[in-house]
Amino acid sequence: MEAELSLFERSEMLATFLVSTPLLEESWRLCSLANSTAPRSFVADQHGEVGYLAFSGIQVIDGPEASCGTLMALDKCGWEHLFSPLRCDGDGEETVKVDVGFLNLFLEFYHRQDFRNQIQEFLGKVKVIILTGHSFGATTASLTTLWLLSHLQPMASPISVLCLTFGTPLLGNKSLSRAILQERWGGSFCNIVSKLDAVPKLFFAPLTSLTPQLHLLLQFWQVAMASPSPEQLVGELQKQNFDEFFSNVKKCVKDAAQSEEGAGNNLFWPLGSYLFYSEEGAICLDNATSVVKMMHLMLETVSPTSTFEDHLRYGYYTRPLSWQFLKRININDLSESSYEAGVFLALQSLGIDPQDDNISKPAKDCLQMSRHMGRAPNLNNAYLAIKLSEITPYWAQLEWYKARCDESVDQRGYYDTFREFAASRRESTIDMNLFRLGAFWDRVIGMAARNELSHDFHRRSKWIHAPHSYMLLAEPLEIARYYRHGMHKKKGHYINYGRNRRFQILERWWNRKVPVAAQEPQQNNNRRSRSRFASLSQDSLFWARVEEAKDQLKNAEEEEDLNKLEPLLENMNHFETYAKKLIKNKEVSIDVLAKNSSYTLWAEKWKDLKSKLLQLPSTLVMNGMDCDYKEIEG
């Protein structure tokens, strides 16, 4: 146990490394410049191969009291395509939500030509893009980062994107935070927060309950950011009574920190890493729950006015912090245990007295919670590799079953045999094997979602190809079972209404692997055509598409209204073209071409229907004969 404890996440060491670079000081310099010279805009700078884009904290959102603090589902805002990877996977998972006011603020920049030109210039010149911002400008920096990561991901771009924010309000809900972790983007966000700053905690409270003092604070912060000497403004602020306002915020943060399940999905939640500043130093936390608990602890020992003033003092912290680490360490205070020493230094960095159990004990719990799992991710990888070998017999039985079906004298093939014959002992065994394999991959997906696996898990060869092979082998049988039980009549066709979340996620993993074309373009372009049919059809949804085409053919044979008939014919033309392309490229299994397979029988009936239609005196034109099949998701 002691060995595991010695793997304490050295949060102070991470913070020390960050402040030893010029990133923080340069980012804050540009944020200050944007605040004073470019209100409602941004400033850009370039140092070698590093490009900086800093958004001013002086931003005006139409009706901030009405829009800020209101969450909106990303898939209902009309702009979800800008953040396409951040979507709900279904099956009970809550949807990703963002603050509607901050999203609108980002969209204002997105539509500006000077902003788009600056991004394009950086993409062509630099290797690292730093997005930074203060206050409301920090939220624009975060959303710009999410947009860039979403844009660059399919291209396997070598450009790195890093978001450094100062005093950022919370941006979205817990599902947003989880989606960012699942994309392995958590390390692209570092939120610098003064331990006294109230702004990062505001959105835990309903903003309607904070009016009208919230208006006064927003006005104070906006004016003070542009003022060369805000001392007089601070004096005016101190004349106001913010005790009730502060108590309300403090209570809401405490409720969030103490709730058993963390945050509900309709509440705001932190994302990325947080660098907590104090006059004594800094620590990094990357666990959202521990971040919320630490925010609560930071409010326990401060006065209301100081929390509002500290939102403007990031320049004070960024300059001297690099030497604060060196001047304060008393080596005699350190424990012989590396774990205890790490805890002691982290508490000291937060300005917490280790002897004050009321604060230091829960602070230690936060640090314990936020530490990395040490060797655990790699051990989990090894554990799953062992479990993968244990399920190999079930996998082998599915492959054996497919081979027997393909060789059968009834010439139905793998899919149709399982679809039609469910009562036999053989099919029952295959059903059980499907359940066991599905349970294993559900476990893998769950561990990945909880960040319990190594950060490069999806890039390791075993975990790129094994889930893809499972999907190609098992999903046709899941489709067969769906249609065998008539679920398409109750819920709708499989692709849009019946597909298990497991296959959706595994497909995303496969599609997001590092493209071969990005590494070896010449070799990929000259790839030889297949000389034999694939052992498994390369589209795991092929049979679901066949089932939809069968349904469309039946409807077309019965349809007398030409206006309704035309889209049915066009959809079948698209599918025929798509299927022929797969067959020509030998990207389907041989069972697709079996004499009595669903596809073969459909193709024959479709050919007969086309012959009949061509003999009719009609103005109906059959379009799309050479179109690629396009899946329409409804």
Is 215 annotated as catalytic? no
Helix (H, G, I), strand (E, B) or coil at 448: helix
Cβ contact 398:433 at 8 Å: yes
Alpha helical stretches, state H, 329-356: 338-349
Tell whether the torsion through CA atoms of 503, 509, 512 and 514 is positive or negative: negative
Partner residues linked to 160 by β-bridges: 128
Distance CA 607, CA 576 (A): 10
Catalytic residue among 99, 197, 539, 591: 197
Letter for the amino acid at 261? E
Q: Which residues pair with 72 in a beta bridge?
A: 98
Give 553-599 as a 3 state SS string: HHHHHHCCCHHHHHHHHHHHHHHHHHHHHHHHCCCCCHHHHCCCCHH
d(CA 32, CA 10): 30
Spacing of C-alpha 405 from chain mean position: 40
Please confirm whether the linkage preceding 154 is cis (ω < 30° from 0): no
Active-site residue identified among 134, 296, 311, 493: 311
Whole-angstrom Cα distance, residue 356 to residue 347? Answer: 11
CB distance 281 to 321 below 8 Å: yes
Q: Which helix (H) or strand (E) holds 25?
A: helix 23-37
488 is catalytic: no
* Alpha carbon separation from 3 to 341, 353, 361, 383 (Å, rounded): 15, 27, 22, 20
Query: Could you confirm whether 197 is annotated as catalytic?
Result: yes
Other beta carbons within 10 angstroms of residue 553's beta carbon come to 21
Q: Which residues of 426-459 are buried (b: 16+ CB within 10 A; e: fewer)?
A: ebeebeebbeebbebbeebbebbbebbbbeebbe
Q: Outline where 161-242 has alpha helix (H).
A: 174-182, 199-202, 213-226, 231-238
Residue type, 419: R
At residue 467, what is the residue type?
A: P
Residue 76 dihedral angles phi and psi, to the nearest 5° = -120, 5
The number of residues making up the chain comes to 634
Catalytic residue among 11, 32, 67, 135: 135
Pairing status of strand 189-194 against strand 160-166: parallel
> Any idea of the CA torsion for 75, 79, 81, 84, to the nearest 10 degrees?
-50
Using CA atoms of 217, 223, 227, 232 in order, give the dihedral in degrees to the nearest 10. -50
CB of 341 within 8 A of CB of 253?
no
DSSP track, 355-380: T-HHHHHHHHHHHHHHS--TTHHHHH
CA distances from 408 to 134, 520, 598 (A): 68, 41, 15
Q: Which residues are tagged catalytic?
A: 135, 197, 311
